[in-house]
Amino acid sequence: MPEESIDHIDFDELNKNAVSQPLVKHIYTADPSAHYLNGKIYIYPSHDIESDIPFDDLGSHFAMEDYHVLSMDSIDSEATDHGIALHVDDVAWAEKQMWAPDAAHKDGTYYLYFPAKKADGIFQIGVAVSDSPTGPFKAQPEAIKGSYSIDPAVFEDEDGSYYLYFGGIWGGQLQKYRNNTYNKDNELPTPNEPALLPIVAKLTDDLLEFAEEPKEIQILDTKGNLLLEADNDRRFFEASWMHKYNGKYYFSYSTGDTHFICYAIGDTPYGPFTYGGRILEPVVGWTSHHSICAIKDKYYLFYHDSSLSRGVTHLRSVKMIEIEHQPDGHIKTISPYTN
């Protein structure tokens, strides 16, 4: 339900009938990255704030300044807000727009990965560390070398390798890059060309840098062809996520301007991935961004919408709902609001 179609919505009725409710209501949260650690659920969202910045297609009005960490003792318990975990003022290289983060854990250390704009207006991805899953986190003095664009998502494979997925078009600046090199004159492909692809890089053992040159990961149709730029209902826009189920790798993402959360299935963390379908139909608000977390023997989708703010697209609230992997490996599509 993009912003232009919300005028007719009865928000009281919609919120009453929604399949899930906001995990917290005292602040606005978005882009939730959820992890099950030490028997608890930890959620690393963006922290949405009011802004007088005019709306534009580059997301300038998403002016987030800090991160909070939420935790839950169980899937049925209330969420606890642990306060500010990292503020842009404490990141030496960053100037503004602390967009969607993710987190990882290794050997007693917790890592928070986040994008932010430098003074030159270019996004990079940084990392901060803590000895607690709730922070506070201390940022490394420089961004990750070779990083760019937005929406970092970390995946720990069963062999102990960690991979960082990232990228987002339009405001996320991915369209300005080819072969990991920025050129301000680069733009999106033409409609009949293959769409831009998300990026992945394996991390070093200390999880602070890339262990290799970032590379594209292919998203294919069932005939083995790359999805085209004009295929807005299926092509990658932003919000990478990876989870594993029954030995298969599930790469999920947002289609952005068509507002779907989709997924593709592959045999390695590098892909290629074959388009599998939709996980989530459109929510209230322009953006859709998610994570998938295994909690005991079930899988849950963490996502956001703007229903609490009655449709204000940059004031979002984190929600969650169980997802179902069907016998053939596909994921049952969720409608976020009952009919």
Q: Which residues are catalytic?
A: 31, 238
Amino acid at 196: L
- Go through 203-239 and write b for each residue having 16 or more CB atoms within 10 A of its CB, e for each that does not: beeebebbeeebebbbbbeeeeebbbbebbebbbbbb
Distance CA 117, CA 172 (A): 10
Count the Cβ atoms, other than its own, within 10 Å of residue 89. 9
Question: At 116, is the secondary structure helix, strand, or coil?
Answer: strand
- Decide if 102 contacts 243 (C-beta within 8 A): no
Tokens describing residue 281: 């139909």
H helices of the chain, in order, are: 11-17
Distance CA 124, CA 184 (A): 15
- Decide if 97 contacts 105 (C-beta within 8 A): no
Edge-to-edge order in the sheet of strand 66-72? 28-37, 40-48, 66-72, 80-87
Beta bridge pairs of residue 303: 319
- Go through 249-262 and write b for each residue having 16 or more CB atoms within 10 A of its CB, e for each that does not: bbbbbbbbebbbbb
